[in-house]
Chains A and B, each alone.
Chain A
Amino acid sequence: MSEILLPIIIVAGIGFVAGLILAIASIVMAVPVNKKMEAILEILPGVNCGACGFSGCEGYAKALANNEAKVGLCSPGGDKVSKEISKLLGIESEKIEGKKAVVMCFGTHENTENKMKYQGIGSCSAAAQLYSGIGSCQYGCIGFGDCKNVCPYGAIDIYDGVASVSFEKCVGCGKCVATCPKNIIKLIPDKEQAVVHCSNKNKGIETKKVCKVGCIGCMRCVKECPAGAITVQDFVAKVDPEKCAGCKKCVEVCPSKCIKLLPLS
């Protein structure tokens, strides 16, 4: 019996003594932890998306607690989180607008044609290496869903060869923006606004050849817009979301039907 008991007693004894010493040491040499930081960490969503520019939620919480970062950089948390943190830190809360991702392309199978029969790896970044993608439009969505795979919230789906972001599910973390090899996903403020769903920078004639709903840069929306929110650069119209009042006039006048009012109801 003692053959088993003795080793048990010895190991347990050493463990007990070591534990005791550690316990005493942790009390004697306790370092006050930053309570503020822990409280902030509780409020943050904890998705570690990195949209704030820090290394995850912990990094942001630490920077906030040390007054090294601005409140409201957390776009998944949005206004609610920023208000709570401001309350905790005793700072005036700035109203922050959440952001939503939008795919600037309407080039579905119906609207565009494929210029090749692609049999390679089923990923946009692979297909983009080959003659700028499968579709006839070199700027358009490839539709293999690299963005869908990277989205932590399941907000992106592929419809008929074009990615589409659900406004309700999107929190604006920007992961899809960074992933898209064609760089056609953009972050826009979360409000009612017109969005030009085209990224083709070619001249109108060229655009018209490859896509039925491409922006041809005809300037009609620019002339129509009462707020002066639309500009055409590189033969693509662009809406300034801050000026756009959502009057829908550009949507009606667009000959290519590539301007839509978001969020789509």
Chain B
Amino acid sequence: MYIKSLIAVFLASILTENYVLNKFLGICPFLGVSKKLNTALGMSLSVTFVMILATATTWPIYTYILKPNDLAYLQTIVFILVIAALVQLVETILKKYIPPLYNSLGIYLPLITTNCAVLGVTMLVIEKGAIDLSFGYVQSLTNAFGAGIGFLVAMVLFAGVRQRIEKCDIPKFMQGLPITLVAASLVAVSFLGFQGLVEGLLG
């Protein structure tokens, strides 16, 4: 039962609650880095990594430090502080051990700091925990992992879409960003089709 609920959380965060295509968080890297498949992969993996690490640190901070002291209002500022530090850490690690990835991510790596998907995950899991008491630390981590994988799925799907767009004969006024945004909206609409799927599968 416990495992089943974890799987439900995981699948839901990928398909029905996809942070990019359903909640429209983290659109900047979604449009910026999805041109090539391998940078899209690298970016989403580092976002996933940061999401899990961020949730793993912010959840205890919120539950054991902020909440008992009635300081829940500090949530946003503390979370951003933690995320910024984590991104710096990831940047340092990448620079040292995976320089090609560091170079190809370029400007987008510091942008994870301000990637609202990361902040969104950390804050939304706490919101969920407040509503549903069984939604604890493990569920939060699963949700964060799922959100990262959901980001990866969206990025990889969209990188494929964009590669096909490049070969198409597009009217001049739609070339570049306009057609990309239209395509993004269509992919988002297609994700609406997953609504109710997880409940139906495991509910």
Contacts and interface: CB of A to CB of B under 8 A. Distances in A.
Interface of A: 6-7, 10-11, 14-15, 18-19, 21-22, 25-26, 29-31
8 contacts: A6-B69, A11-B77, A14-B61, A14-B81, A19-B85, A21-B85, A26-B92, A31-B99
Given A10-B71, A29-B92, 20 more contacts: A7-B74, A10-B65, A10-B66, A10-B78, A11-B74, A11-B77, A11-B78, A14-B81, A15-B81, A18-B81, A18-B82, A18-B84, A18-B85, A21-B85, A25-B92, A25-B93, A29-B95, A30-B96, A31-B95, A31-B96
A29 B91 CA distance: 11
Q: Which 6 A-B pairs have the closest CB atoms?
A: A18-B85, A29-B96, A25-B92, A29-B92, A31-B95, A22-B88
Interface in B78-132: 78, 81-82, 84-85, 88-89, 92-93, 95-97, 99
Contacts of B77: 11
A6 B92 contact: no
A163 to B, nearest CB: 33
B143 to A, nearest CB: 23
Contacts, number: 43
Given A6-B71, A7-B71, A22-B89, A14 B95 contact: no
Contact of A10 (B74, B84, B92, B99): B74
Contacts of B84: 18
B145 to A, nearest CB: 22
A14 B78 contact: yes
Interface string B40-72: 000000000000000000000100011001010
Contacts of A15: 81
Given A10-B65, A22-B88, A29 B93 contact: yes
Nearest to B61: A14
Contacts of A6: 69, 71
Give the size category of B's interface with A. 20 to 34
Contacts of A19: 85
Nearest to A27: B92
A175 B85 CA distance: 42
A109 B149 CA distance: 69
A14 B78 CA distance: 8
A31 B102 CA distance: 12
Interface string B19-51: 000000000000000000000000000000000
Residue of A11, A14, A26 with most chain B CB atoms under a 10 A cut-off: A14
A15 to B, nearest CB: 6
Nearest to A13: B65
A22 B69 contact: no
Nearest to B88: A22
A5 to B, nearest CB: 11
Contacts of A14: 61, 78, 81-82
A15 B74 CA distance: 13
A4 to B, nearest CB: 11
A22 B90 CA distance: 10
A145 B181 CA distance: 39
Contact of A25 (B65, B71, B89): B89
Contacts of A26: 92
A204 to B, nearest CB: 43
Nearest to A18: B85
Contacts of A25: 89, 92-93
A66 to B, nearest CB: 13
A30 B97 CA distance: 11
B164 to A, nearest CB: 30
A187 B99 CA distance: 40
A33 to B, nearest CB: 10
A51 B74 CA distance: 51
A16 to B, nearest CB: 11
Contacts of B97: 29
